[in-house]
Structure 1
Amino acid sequence: MKTITWGMIGCGDVTEVKNGPGLYLAENSKLKGITNRTKSKAVDWVNRHQQGIVYESVEEMLKDEEIDIVYIAVTPDKHLEYAIQCAKAGKHCLIEKPLALAYDEGVAIREAFREAGKKAYVAFYRRNLNRFIKINEIVKSGKIGKVSQFHIHRYVNPLTDFGAWRAKPEISGGNVFTETDIHILDYMDELFGEVKYFQFMKNSLNGNDFDSLVVNFQYENNIRGTGNWLYNAEVTRDVVEIIGEKGIVSFDFFHNDTPILLETKEGREEILLDDSIHVGLAMEQAIVNELNGIGEFHGNIDNALRTLKITDIIYHSETR
């Protein structure tokens, strides 16, 4: 089996534990080298991880014929530029989420890779974690019967919970909802397919960006759901409930160390599963396998575009 060789653009926090180590820990995978706009940071990363070399520039990396795929691990404002460069260089690509600053940029990225005949993946790693595979299994196996609805409750305070750059739309494409909580919408896409219709209300309680959002969704098979987001909460909550005719499965979305709760007439079951601290490893292994002709990666750029379109519409609508 071929060893898939990676290059990496950027070496920020997301590459330290989450997604960087998987490039060299996955089977039949190796990290050839990285590049960063501040070279000293790239040198430091390579020395600490004892992996790869440092390229002087993105252009130098893309000229390396050994590299099969590039991980774009920078903020969304740079995704379009680097993704287009990768496509033109004939490289597959793993792009950090969200795919782009806006939906039209995401479409441009998809078309560039289609034209190049190369794969473009988006780093929605939760689809490949044991925890979320188990939830998927519970929902689709019929353990809770036919699903009719779901409810998302997400109450946080981004002033303390998230880095400031996420609140700068020129860098993140929006705010915490568009940059971080798009993970939730991506997983609903994994479970229920495409959103056929949605309506929403949002307002601002602090005079700045919107911090209160309520969304009603209608998916395929007439599955309906609600999403409630509050971004100035002193008391936090992070719960998704999926309701079927025979039971309920509920779980914290962003806290992998909490149990999945399964409730049926047989009783209440708590399911706690372990995943690697390198949460991107399973995703990266699936990508390597697919590039070697084994299996199929969960999710693709079309899935990512569907969720990006929703967050784009919500973010750019008028706040009331």
Structure 2
Amino acid sequence: MDQIKWGIIGCGNVTEVKSGPAFNKVPNSSLVAVMRRDGELAADYAMRHGVPRWYDDVDDLINDPDVNAIYIATPPDVHTDYAIRAMRAGKPVYIEKPMARNWEECDAINQMGYKTGLPVFVAFYRRSLPYFLKVKELIDQKAIGDIRLVNIQLHWQPYAEEVGENPKPKWRVFPEISGGGHFHDLASHQFDFLEFALGPIKTARGMARNQAGLYNADDIVIANYEFESGVLGTGSWCYTVNKEQRIDEAQLIGSEGKITFSFFEKFIIKVETAAGVEEFNLPYPPHVQQPLIETIVSELRGEGKSPSSGETGARANLIMDLITAK
């Protein structure tokens, strides 16, 4: 491909700033069509973002002859169906994370990619963000010696829509749509980056429960996991604490020090060794998916390679499936 002409399926909130505008900011890339089941919302998005065409039917967008790459930004329950349809139409796909509801659905997407010879990309954009590339650089440079242990803590208060007299939780806590609860939505980013930085996880197990009864999905998860390198990992995810208990922190414990960083909320990386404490402040760019989209466009043009593929994307689902297996 010379020019990558994107169509978006599902132009909701994630596409407003994080991803949508980036398609027009990357060289040799443009956003030419969007689709949403609510035609009025699709038309509004197209008008506000200067997109030439909009649709309210997924097949109309997939079969638009001017669209040669498709970004699937819907909830996970339709990722597999839409990705397979797009590839059958001869178009590579870029899929929002998590890649699908479970590993089996991810594998079905990848099998169609192998069959058609088309690439599959997943929106694990931390693989290209300067903040996380710095964490990986520190690991590779052995800034804290050999990594021994990883610990993740992600404890958040319930979302506003999940509490009150008439709670109306969003799709993320309906397993039939998302694959699980907030753990599946957020931990997918964490495990994808950990494998990017530390190599494959070979075993994982855990416990997942619903303690608060705000919805049917699990609201607390604890896990142990082991990397092929021998590094061990632990983690706890709880989405029903009060605001004062909120924490988003990851620690890498090494033979010569410790790295502390955040997956979602903070921009400081702290490195502690016998020589002292060093901090790096690396805020996210305005459109957080733009660096990854640049690599995808480069690969589609035959000029480079994206770090996030269907194979790597499916790994996060496999790990989460192992941890939350009943």
- TM-score w.r.t. length of structure 2: 0.92
> RMSD of aligned C-alpha atoms?
1.7
Which one of 239, 256, 272 corresponds to residue 249 of structure 2? 239
Aligned to 2:263, which of 253, 259, 265?
Answer: 253
Residues 95-127 of structure 1 show CA distances to partners (whole Å, capped at 9, x for unaligned) of 111111222111111101110110111111111
**1:237 positional shift:** 0.5
Contact 2:204-2:322 within 8 A present in 1 as well: no
Q: CA deviation at 1:226?
A: 0.6
Aligned position for 1:62: 62
Q: Deviations over 1:7-63 (max 9, x none)?
A: 111110001001111111111111111111111111100111113311353222222
Deviations 1:133-189 (A, max 9, x none): 111111111111111111101111233398621111111111100122211111111
- 2:227 aligned residue (219, 225, 236): 219
Measured after TM superposition, the shift of residue 92 of structure 1 is 0.5
Kindly indicate whether residue 205 of structure 2 is the aligned counterpart of residue 199 of structure 1.
Answer: yes
Q: For this pair of structures, how many residues does the alignment match? A: 316
Normalised TM-score (structure 1): 0.94
Amino acid of the structure 2 residue aligned with 1:167: V
Q: State the match for 1:230 in structure 2.
A: 238
Structure 1 residues 48-57 or 149-158, which shifts more? 48-57
Dislocated runs of 4+, deviation >6 Å: none
**2: CA distance between counterparts of 1:276 and 1:236?**
24
State the SS of the aligned residue for 2:191. Answer: helix
CA distance, structure 1, for counterparts of residue 39 and residue 255 of structure 2: 56
Whole-Å Cα distance in 2 between the matches of residues 217 and 315 of structure 1?
12
Q: CA–CA distance in 1 between the matches of 2:230 and 2:154?
A: 23
In structure 2, stretches of 5+ residues that fail to align are 163-168
Rounded to whole Å, the distance in 2 between the matches of 1:161 and 1:308 is: 26
CA distance in 2, matches of 1:227, 1:2: 44
Q: Which amino acid aligns with 1:255?
A: E
Given residue 320 of structure 2, which amino acid in structure 1 is its aligned partner? Answer: T
**Corresponding residue SS for 1:222:** coil
For the 8 Å contact 1:190–1:299, the answer to whether it is kept is no
Q: Contact between 1:158 and 1:176, CA under 8 Å: does it hold in 2?
A: no
Q: For the residues of structure 1 that align with 2:139 and 2:156, how far apart are their CA atoms?
A: 27
Q: Is the alpha carbon distance of 1:161 and 1:26 closer, same or farther for their aligned partners in structure 2, counting shifts above 3 Å? A: farther
Of residues 266, 281, 291, the one that matches 1:282 is 291
Supply the distance in 2 between the matched residues of 1:204 and 1:45 (Cα, whole angstroms): 37
Residue 123 of structure 2 contacts residue 308 of structure 2 at CA under 8 Å; is this kept in 1? no
- Preserved CA contact (<8 Å) 2:6 2:71: yes
Conservation of the 8 A alpha-carbon contact between 2:38 and 2:56: no
What SS is found at the alignment partner of 1:205?
coil
Unmatched tracts of structure 1, length 5 or more: none
Please give the alpha-carbon distance, in whole angstroms, between the structure 2 residues aligned to 1:229 and 1:56: 37
Residue 112 and residue 228 in structure 1: after superposition, are their counterparts in 2 closer, same or farther (change >3 A)? same
The 8 Å contact of residues 180 and 218 in structure 2, kept in 1 or not, is answered as no
